[in-house]
Amino acid sequence: MAKDSSKVWSVFSLAAALGGAAVARKALDAGWKAGTGKQPPENPADPDVQIWEAVAWAATTGAAVALVRMLAQRKAANYYLKSTGELPPPLRKDTPLNA
């Protein structure tokens, strides 16, 4: 059962993280356009993108996507806990890191 629940958690956690990242990206795009009046840079590494814009976009998206991903995974862990009565296998205190 532990192997199955670990796989279920992996899929559940991944789906939550990807969904959260997609929502964050849409919100960031809209916020960038509202704040700057321009579309966000498609590729910050492009030399035609001003360096301040590339750095601001990379820092903003990196931090926001990481934060939303973490929050989505925490929400998924809480749902898993309520559904099964225990934490997902990787979050259990007695689970070795390489299990």
Residue 33: which residues within 8 A CB-CB, separation 6 or more? 39, 40
Instruction: For residues 57 and 36, give the distance between their C-alpha atoms in angstroms, rounded to a whole number.
Output: 11
The confidence band for 95, taking pLDDT boundaries of 50, 70 and 90, is: low
Q: Are 40 and 29 in contact (CB under 8 A)?
A: yes
Q: 0.75 exceeded by the pTM?
A: no
Whether 96 has a pLDDT exceeding 70, the answer reads no
* Confidence at residue 20, expressed as pLDDT on a 0 to 100 scale: 83
Alpha-carbon distance values, 9 to 2, 21, 83, 89, 99 (Å): 10, 18, 12, 8, 13
What is the tens place of the pLDDT at every residue in 21-80?
Answer: 888 889 999 999 999 999 999 898 999 999 999 999 999 999 998 898 888 888 888 988
